[in-house]
Amino acid sequence: MILLGLDPGLGTTGWGVIAAEGNRLRHVGNGQIKTEPSMPLPRRLTYLHAALAEMIRVERPDGAAVEEVLGNSNAQSTLKLGQARGIVLLSAAQAGLIVGEYHPSIVKKAVVGTGGADKKQIQAMVGHLLPGVKLTGPDAADALAVAITHAHHLASARAQMRRTGISA
């Protein structure tokens, strides 16, 4: 199963694609989509949507997962981040993907083992879990962490269904 992880942002949206084969994970690709701060907001959102649609067309994932947005003290920044997250969700949904959503602390706990992990710890564990990965940046590392979290959650759900006798 090919899984796409997405770390939304208006300035930079990270993406990461992994192959999950049972308990084995393999890196497929990762990147960052950047928008120009000088562009008007509607153009930045349009660019983000087009770039995501093209990446999804090329990578052909079977499912996707998106990190939830945390609010901050700047309401304007939170609103713009929420709009970028909406574009990320729209792009995945338009491609027919079922999208999982994970709180950042769940992603950190799944990948590092603690919900309070920092970006360097996430990058180190992503490198450990996906040997040979060349990260394009911290947002791509976060996106791969989201994909890894989704793979673990899907595997746990399948195992639970087998234990209870429910077929997938």
Residues flagged as binding site: 7, 67, 139
Going by C-alpha positions, the residue among 33, 52, 32, 36 that lies closest to residue 44 is: 36
For the annotated binding site for Mg(2+), the residues are 7, 67, 139
Instruction: Please state, in angstroms and rounded to a whole number, the distance separating the CA atoms of residues 126 and 27.
Output: 10
Report the run of H or E that residue 63 belongs to, with start and end. strand 63-67
Tokens encoding 63: 């499912």
Positions annotated as catalytic residues are 7, 67, 139
Instruction: Please state, in angstroms and rounded to a whole number, the distance separating the CA atoms of residues 41 and 82.
Output: 12
Q: Dihedral through CA 13, CA 100, CA 134, CA 23, nearest 10?
A: 180
